[in-house]
Amino acid sequence: MTNTVNLFLLGTLYIFDWVSTKEAAELAGKIDPETIGNLPMPGEVDFINGGPPCQGFSGMNRFNNSTWSKVQCEMILAFLSFVVYFCPRYFLLENVRNFVSFNKGQTFRLSLASLLDMGYQVRFGILEARAFGVARSRKRAFVWATAPGELLPEWPEPMHVFAGLELKIVAPGGISYAAVPSTAYGAPFRSITVRDAIGELPPVENGSSKLTIEYVSYPVSWFQKYIRENMMALNDHIFKEMNELNLIRCQRIPRCPGAEWRDLPDEKVKLSSGQTVDLIPWCLPNIARRHNQWKGLFGRLDLDGNFPISVTDPQPMGKVGMCFNPEQDRIITVRECACSQGFMDSYAFCGNIQNKHRQIRNVVPPPLAYALGRKLKEVIDMNQHSC
């Protein structure tokens, strides 16, 4: 089925042809007229923002050359097609840092060129969430675009010290560009630490499955006061239960900063089943040279440090194995991961434990999203005052 649409985009007539599948046409035909009537028309949308699936671009994905990952990478074109159709005043695209360099930068440059060809003003850059008040390092690539006649939002100023390198994008010709300055040498506020984020949360034991529990202490940092607000009870302070062997390993890991699998004693343990097994997994010491010494596996968080890279399934033998609570013998909880991303304690997550971790993992950390939103509000207010 072939369809043709004549669309006035920013004062220019564009003609688009596309081919829809039989299945797509059948599904579209089942949408009731009232629903269709409530959908916005081109020119009626002020703001479109989102992040196309990042798994295909992510360096953490061991299968980013698979067919499905390649399909996910191409979804960015589908996302840009919404801009073509709706002609929003403002547009914000977000993705992982590797989006900029993926496929030798061709996908990134295609996105920018597409927006520019449509007549939009464009600004791009990489921001570090920890510089905006998050307890973990999280680098995200952003693309702002605004229609002609609208002000282009500036980047928010980083407010927290972060001792990382300046995040630059190398443009064609070798020119380097940084959206915001590095805060490695100073900022108005210090970094948010693991202690700031989760230091006052009540203790829970391996196997605990209570979805709601009472707080047992008052907030001890301004960050804790901010995210708790007026909450009287804590939700989602739960985690996936460890098996007996991993629990024993966790109990043997010292409760000190940087402790990991290399701090385990080289001995065997007897399980309740009667089986005797090595406390240190065989693969860790035997192939460590090929895997950066398996750094961080079975690791404890440092109360005065930050959380590692966010993952959808925290586990001690995972790609990011530093997932043990600093002071308790267990994996970090859903709520602790949410605190590390800057979620308010009142925010509710849906589904099972892994679904909740995925919801936390996939977002732009709320403090960074808030900072970007304030910059958008500034230009909207300025446009209104100038009318």
Q: Which domains are present in the chain?
A: 40-188 (3.40.50.150), 194-348 (3.90.120.10)
> How long is the chain?
387
Please report the pLDDT score of residue 125 as a whole number.
94
pLDDT tens sequence across 163-174: 877 888 887 677
Q: How far apart are CA 83 and CA 77, in angstroms?
A: 10
Radius of gyration of the chain (CA): 24
pLDDT at 129: 94
pLDDT band at residue 8 under the 50/70/90 scheme: very low
The yes-or-no verdict on residue 206 having pLDDT over 60 is yes
What are the tens digits of pLDDT across the range 97-149?
A: 888 888 888 888 889 999 999 999 999 999 999 999 999 989 999 999 999 99
Average pLDDT score, the chain: 86
Asked if pLDDT for residue 12 goes beyond 70, the answer is: no
Catalytic residue among 54, 87, 323, 339: 54
Q: What would the mean pLDDT of 61-81 be, rounded to a whole number? A: 65
Closest CA to 321 of 300, 340, 341: 300
54 is catalytic: yes
- Position 114 scores a pLDDT of 92
Which pLDDT score, from 0 to 100, does residue 46 have?
Answer: 95
E-only strand ranges, the chain: 2-9, 12-19, 47-50, 90-96, 121-128, 139-146, 168-170, 176-178, 212-214, 233-235, 268-270, 276-278, 299-300, 322-324
Is residue 196 over pLDDT 80? Answer: yes
Q: Residue 40 CB: number of other CB atoms within 10 A? A: 11
Q: Looking at residues 36-59, what average pLDDT do you find?
A: 80
Dihedral pair phi/psi, residue 71, rounded to 5°? -65, -40
- Between the CA of residue 271 and those of 29, 79, 241, 265, 317, what are the distances in Å? 60, 52, 17, 16, 19
The whole-angstrom separation of Cα 319 and Cα 344 is 27
Is pLDDT of 19 > 80? Answer: no
Q: Which residue has the tokens 């995200």?
A: 140
pLDDT at 73: 59
Report the pLDDT averaged over residues 24-28.
84
pLDDT of residue 374: 97
Alpha-carbon span 14 to 6, nearest angstrom: 6
Q: What is the pLDDT of residue 56?
A: 55
**Is the pLDDT confidence value at 334 over 90?**
yes
DSSP 317-351: TSSS-EEE-SSSSSBPPHHHHHHHHT--TT----S
| Strand pairing class (233-235; 212-214) | antiparallel
**Element of type H or E holding 238:** none
- Mention every residue, 6+ apart, whose C-beta is less than 8 A from residue 77: none
Q: What proportion of the chain, given as a percentage, has pLDDT over 70?
A: 88
pLDDT of residue 103: 81
Mean of the pLDDT values across residues 235-241? Answer: 93
Q: Does residue 1 carry a pLDDT above 70? A: no
Helix boundaries (H) for 139-294: 194-198, 222-228, 244-252, 283-286
Confidence at 387, pLDDT banded by 50, 70, 90: low
Task: Specify the pLDDT at position 13.
Answer: 44
What does the DSSP 8-state code read for residue 14? Answer: E
pTM: 0.85
Eight-state DSSP code of residue 132: G
Q: Residue 7: its pLDDT value, please?
A: 44
Predicted pLDDT of residue 187: 93
pLDDT at 351: 94
Cα torsion angle, 233, 313, 315, 135, sign: negative
The crossing angle, in degrees rounded to 10, of helices 353-361 and 334-341 is: 10
- Selection from 278, 272, 333 nearest residue 301 by Cα: 333
Q: Tell me: pLDDT of 384 over 70.
A: yes
